[in-house]
Structure formats: structure tokens, C-alpha cells
Amino acid sequence: MTDTAARPRILVARAVFPEVVNKLAQHFDVEANLADDIWPRDEFIRRLQGKQGVFTTGGERIDADVLKACPDLKICANMAVGYNNFDVPAMTAAGVLATNAPGVLTETTADMGFALLMAAARRVTEGEHFLRAGQWDRWAYDMLIGQDVHGSTLGIIGMGRIGQAIARRGALGFGMNVIYHNRARLPEGDEAAVKARYVSKEELLKTADHVVLVVPYSKESHHTIGAAELALMKPTAVLVNIARGGIVDDAALAKALREDRIAAAGLDVFEGEPKVHPDLLACSNVVLTPHIGSATVPTRKAMANLAADNLIGYLTEGKPVTPLNPE
């Protein structure tokens, strides 16, 4: 418990587990968004003024304008592994620490990648809509024919923790031939552990039966998959995005799905979410979920606790758990 006279002030920008807010309140004067309002940016900045720390959930942009308006700020702790809402170079220049929540959501997010892959490949949601609409009146040899997942070639773009967890599931659970593309090739031992073979992006797109995207969002990864990349994929291929909106050109994907250029897609993230491109909404061969890759109770609690521990560790002892800024 931190001495009340010297307690740092922090802002919790979105609603989180009450027990985590209570834990923070043992160390800090906390202003928490209990009603889970989406504060307009100017209100968020106004509330952040005079605070030393902020608990963010991935939607709050921390950039040069915020840093200039909030000179007391020392740390921004994201309850997410992705941190494209942070301008880390600007934060480093302003002496503000950035932290994220890596590791604790790896397996849960990999499960979601497989859920989307299975659902899209085997037309699970299409089948459910068909049944609920009362259209199912007989068994038919060619009804809702999908793509095999077991024994197929799985292409993973992005081979960090989550990419490797997907590779393990594919190789060991489904007997898949796993290929991957990444900025840097994994050390041989790590490749062998997940039974994955490094290939160029072009070879991956041409040969994979299923492509799963797990790259962080950046200027460089913007539209990693656009019309040209979709044109390289097999007409039977399934595309899964559990990374970030903006990695796929959603308009180009909707066109490819509509024209049966690829078989199906499973998407948990979207350009401009929570809005979803109307052309995607109009396609039946895409499974759509609202950014719930890490959404299980134990995982969300672990993410929230890690963000809280970063705030507590840094503001009380100068020791964050998972810092992002370069040394």
C-alpha cells in the first residue's frame, strides 16, 4: 500500500474488472471510467491532465498532442499485446514509459484463430443461418461443401508468440504442413519446435490452403493483404485475420470473396472497427467476430492484472514488468 500523502494519480480509461480497479486504488488515487463511456478525445485528454499514469485498453491514442497536453504523465499501460495506439518514439522522446500485455493472451488468441479457420473452412455460420432460416429440408451430397483443415497447408504470416502457437496447433493437432513468413526467420530450433518451414510471402500465398495473419499493425504492415496478394491465393483458400484491422484491405477482400476468388475468410478485426465494411457484411462466405480474440475470463483478467502491475511496478518502484520503450 502506497503512502496516501504521496499517492500518484492515475486514470483508468475504460471499464475493467472491479478487482483490478480496487488493486490500483491500494496504490494510487484512481479516476476510473466505471460507466464505460467512450470519452471523446478532448475529454480523455482533459481527464488525463495531472495524472502520472493511464490504464488504456488499446483504443486510446497516445501521441505528441496528448504528451504535450499532459506533462505529468509518466506511464501508459496498455491492456493489450498490440500497441498501435501508442506513438512509442514520441513517448520515448517525452520520457513517458509505454507498456503492453504480451504472453498472457497467446494461447487464447491462437484458439480464436483456429475457431475462425474451422468455422470459415467448414462453413459453420453459413450452415447455422441456413438451418435457422428453415431452408434445410434434406441431406444432399453437395450441401455446404467446405475445405478440409486437417492435413492441409497452413500459411502463417507473422511468427511471434501467437503465430508459433497457431503453428503448434496446426502441425501437432491437425497434421498440417506449416509454412510461415516473418520479417526475420526463426532460429532453427524454434522452427523445429513448431514444425514450420520459412518461405517467401509470395510462395506462402500461392501454396497455402489457409492463410492466418498474426502480424502487428504498423505503416509497413498496412494492407499486407490487398488485391494483388489475394490474386495469388488459391480459389479454395481461406484467409483469417486475428491481428489488426488495416493489415487487410477490407474492400479488396470483400470483392475477392464476392467473386469467389478465394473460398472464405474469418475476421476478428477490421479497418475502422467497430464499423465493418458494408461489402463484407453482404458476403455470406465470411465469418465475422467483434475483436474477441483474447476474450475469456482468465485471459482478460491476466491482461488487466499485467497492465495494473506495470503501473504499480513503475510508479512505486521504477520497475515495470513489460516495458516497450527502447533502453
| Segment interacting with ligand DGY, rule: CB under 6 A, options 78-86, 147-155, 157-165, 281-289 | 78-86
Taking CB under 6 A as the criterion, the residue among 294, 299, 305, 310 binding ligand DGY is 294
Q: Where are the alpha helices (DSSP H) in the chain?
A: 18-25, 41-48, 64-69, 88-93, 106-121, 124-132, 161-168, 174, 188-194, 201-207, 227-232, 250-258, 278-281, 297-317
Would you call 19 a catalytic residue per the annotation? no
Site size toward ligand DGY, by CB under 6 A: 7
- Does the footprint of ligand DGY cover residue 84 (CB under 6 A)? no
| Segment interacting with ligand DGY, rule: CB under 6 A, options 80-88, 91-99, 145-153, 161-169 | 80-88
CA distance 61 to 75: 14
**DSSP symbol at 243:** S
Smallest gap from Cβ 206 to ligand DGY, in A, equals: 29
| Segment interacting with ligand DGY, rule: CB under 6 A, options 33-41, 76-84, 202-210, 316-324 | 76-84
* Residues in Cβ contact with 120 at an 8 Å cutoff, skipping those fewer than 6 apart: 238, 240, 264, 265, 266, 285, 286, 287
| Segment interacting with ligand DGY, rule: CB under 6 A, options 5-13, 28-36, 75-83, 280-288 | 75-83
- The answer to whether the beta carbons of residues 74 and 48 sit under 8 Å apart is no
CB nearer ligand DGY, residue 85 or residue 147? 85
CA distance 229 to 234: 11
| Phi, psi angles (nearest 5°) of residue 67 | -65, -35
Would you call 244 a catalytic residue per the annotation? yes
Considering only residues 3 to 62 of the shown chain, the ones binding ligand DGY according to CB under 6 A are 58
| Segment interacting with ligand DGY, rule: CB under 6 A, options 77-85, 117-125, 225-233, 311-319 | 77-85
Q: Shortest CA distance to 309 belongs to which of 321, 298, 317?
A: 321
Sheet strands (E) in 258-305: 264-267, 286-288
- Does the footprint of ligand DGY cover residue 81 (CB under 6 A)? yes
Active-site choice (122, 181, 291, 300)? 291
CB nearer ligand DGY, residue 81 or residue 176? 81
Residue type, 323: P
CB nearer ligand DGY, residue 52 or residue 109? 109
Smallest gap from Cβ 304 to ligand DGY, in A, equals: 11
- Does the footprint of ligand DGY cover residue 80 (CB under 6 A)? yes
Q: Shortest CA distance to 124 belongs to which of 101, 141, 149, 103?
A: 149
Would you call 291 a catalytic residue per the annotation? yes
| Phi, psi angles (nearest 5°) of residue 92 | -60, -45
CB nearer ligand DGY, residue 53 or residue 293? 293
* Length of the chain in terms of residues written: 327
CB nearer ligand DGY, residue 86 or residue 180? 86
The three cell numbers of residue 41 are 478525445
Distance of CA 46 to the CA centre of its chain: 28
- Does the footprint of ligand DGY cover residue 293 (CB under 6 A)? yes
Considering only residues 178 to 207 of the shown chain, the ones binding ligand DGY according to CB under 6 A are none
- The answer to whether the beta carbons of residues 149 and 117 sit under 8 Å apart is yes
Q: What is the largest CA-CA distance in the chain?
A: 74
Considering only residues 104 to 143 of the shown chain, the ones binding ligand DGY according to CB under 6 A are 105
Smallest gap from Cβ 85 to ligand DGY, in A, equals: 9
Active-site choice (244, 271, 277, 300)? 244
Q: Which residues bind ligand DGY (CB under 6 A)?
A: 58, 80-82, 105, 293-294
Catalytic residues: 244, 273, 291
